[in-house]
Amino acid sequence: MRAAYYEQLDQINDDLVEMTRLVGSAMNRATQALLDADLPLAEAVIDFDAKVDTLASDVEERCFELVALQQPVATDLRVVIGALRIASSLERMGDLAEHVAKQARMRFPKVAVPQELRATFAEMGSLAEVIVAKTGSVIATKDVALCVDIAEHDERMDRLHRELFTIVLSQTWKHGVEEAIDVTLLSRYYERYADHAVSVSKRVVTIVTGEPYVAVSLEDQAGA
């Protein structure tokens, strides 16, 4: 009976790793659709989000069943509750990739970001790809040392977000209000995507150690 129980926990963990792969692919393709004004690709990302939602709902249902039927305690309870919250964060990451794709679709046939900001959004897309890959590794291996890397990538994403916000508010902004809104919204989607990945990594640390995780940034280390 307990062997079957732990098999279920392992399967849930495997499904969470699969979710990171799905939402990583979604954001990668959404970024391509955004930068290339690729309408079919944007539509594919939007349609694909239903698969992420279905898997998240399935994980949540099985977690509730385990709580009801197995009444886990201590570490096992942390695993189940952590999985519930991780699934929610990953589902939200899928939604954010969908938002990027919807923005690309809304502005088609135009590219939704000005030419001079394409490199910045390409970098944000690359950062998102690295962050979600490491998030999957954290879930799969429980190697909490990777959480430091995720936090540092998140800091870089935050800096890019702030830079874009400063650009659209500057007096040298040569585009209109609509373009400024597009850039601000899109930047926020990438920034929140990274934030959810950090939340997932913190959940894994709590599962492994029983203690909340507090990341130490490069700036903190330098000032220590």
Query: How far is the C-alpha of 61 from the C-alpha of 172, rounded, in Å?
Result: 51
* pLDDT tens readout for residues 198-216: 999 999 999 888 876 655 4
Stronger pLDDT, 71 or 189, i.e. the higher one: 189
pLDDT exceeds cutoff 80 at 72: no
Query: What stretch of H or E contains 107?
Result: helix 74-107
Q: N- to C-terminal Cα distance for the chain?
A: 51
| Structure-model confidence comparison of residues 224 and 118, the more confident one | 118
Cα 92 to Cα 22: distance, rounded to the nearest angstrom: 12
> Which tokens hold the place of 26?
């979604």
- 170's torsion region: left (phi>0), alpha (psi -120 to 50) or beta? beta
Confidence check: pLDDT of 86 > 70: yes
**pLDDT tens for each residue of 130-188:** 999 999 999 999 999 999 999 999 999 999 999 999 999 998 999 999 999 999 999 99
Domains of the chain: 2-223 (1.20.58.220)
CA 210 remoteness from chain centre: 23
Q: Is the peptide bond before 109 cis (omega within 30 degrees of 0)?
A: yes
Percent of the chain with pLDDT over 70: 93
197 vs 85: CA distance, rounded Å: 12
Candidate from 71-75, 81-85, 120-124 with smallest mean pLDDT: 71-75
Q: Which residue has the higher pLDDT, 110 or 1?
A: 110
Q: How confident is the model at residue 219 (pLDDT cuts 50, 70, 90)?
A: very low
Query: For residues 5 and 37, what is the distance between their CA atoms, to the nearest angstrom?
Result: 47
Say if CB 15 and CB 55 are below 8 A apart.
Answer: yes
Distance CA 181, CA 173 (A): 12
Angle of the 118-141 helix axis to the 146-169 helix axis, nearest 10 = 160
Residue with tokens 């190697």: 143
Residue type, 224: A
Q: What letter would DSSP give residue 116?
A: G
Mean pLDDT over each residue of the chain, to the nearest integer? 91
pTM: 0.91
d(CA 197, CA 152): 12
